[in-house]
Amino acid sequence: MGHTAKVLVREPHPYGYPGELVYEANRSRLRHALWEITASNVIHFHDQPYLRRSSKWRTSLLEKLDYRTAKLMNKRMVFHFHGSSVRDSRERSKSSQFFGERILVSMPDILNLVPKGASWVPHPVDLELFYPNRKEEPGSVKVGFYNPQNEWGQLRETPRQTSQIIHSMPGKKFQESPATNIPWKRMPEYFNGIDIWVDKMNFDFYGVSACEAAACGVPVVAHIGAEEMSLVPDCQFLNTDYVKLGDTLEYLSEENTRKYIGQRCKEFVCRFHAASRICDIVQQAY
């Protein structure tokens, strides 16, 4: 693309994404944020400005100073919303002050929660990192799903419900293999060690983990709303809900079926979610 980027974060991401610059001290955070605002051509905010209210600050004048500086300097800006910042009513009230800027969303089911004119940017997948490297092992069919440790994540992902359905399957053919506190760089190893990925079921679209699992040749089970399905008509993920999840798992109990569906899922992700394609979409937004 001909661009270089610096990623400033307030604290290390629990998944351990590479390339993040973490400045934990408030002075260092302020200095680097304003320097990058000045030196950059495009400012890409994720959910909120980098400089947010801190109990350690003695004045509120520093709050959103990076955003206000970028605004004053007439910098090109985009705000990229990822879900909770607009789904939760309290967070949405904070986010709405930035709705006048160029808006991107990571999931199309939240387009109705942001102003018209917002653009959906599909999840990018690094195909050099996520690819099939499986070692077939006899035994139970391993079913993977995300099992976050925080309360909000538990409510959002509902892993207990997925676990209960797996354990209720007759014959003990299935074994749960939840993803908990796994660094992002180790996720390819994890995906290549499971047989099925069950994505979040209480939203109307799939997450980035579904795409990364599919890139590894794993059949993906997800819930996609009718309106959202019109945006990905050739999506090969198995579209179901919690009521029919048991039947869907039973359908995938045969190895040949899993290989067939997994290959179709992989082809879809490589075609639609490849990072190179998503970079072109983001570049157009800039």
Instruction: Using pLDDT thresholds of 50, 70 and 90, give the confidence band for residue 278.
Output: very high
Q: Would the pLDDT of 36 be above 90?
A: no
> Per-residue pLDDT for 151 more than 70?
no
Mean pLDDT of the region 67-91: 88
Q: Name the percent of the chain lying above pLDDT 70.
A: 84
| E strand segments, the chain | 7-9, 20-22, 42-46, 76-81, 102-105, 119-120, 141-146, 174-179, 196-198, 220-222, 238-239
Q: Residue 54: its pLDDT value, please?
A: 55
**Pick from 204, 286, 192: nearest CA to 239:** 204
Residue 162, pLDDT score: 92
Of 27 and 176, the structure prediction assigns the larger pLDDT to: 176
pLDDT tier at 40 (50, 70, 90 boundaries)?
confident
For residues 85 and 242, give the distance between their C-alpha atoms in angstroms, rounded to a whole number: 25
**Percent of the chain scoring above 90 in pLDDT:** 53
Amino acid letter at 129? Answer: L
pLDDT, tens digit (0-9, with 9 covering 90-100), for 224-268: 999 999 999 999 999 999 999 999 999 999 999 999 999 999 999
How far is the C-alpha of 247 from the C-alpha of 240, rounded, in Å? 9
The residue extents of the domains of the chain are: 7-121, 141-272
- pTM for the structure as a whole: 0.86
53 — pLDDT class (breaks 50, 70, 90): low
Tell me which CATH homologous superfamily contains domain 141-272.
Answer: Glycogen Phosphorylase B; (3.40.50.2000)
Length of the chain: 286
Would you state the pLDDT for residue 237? 98
Q: Is the pLDDT of residue 93 over 50?
A: yes
Does residue 73 or residue 19 have the better pLDDT?
73
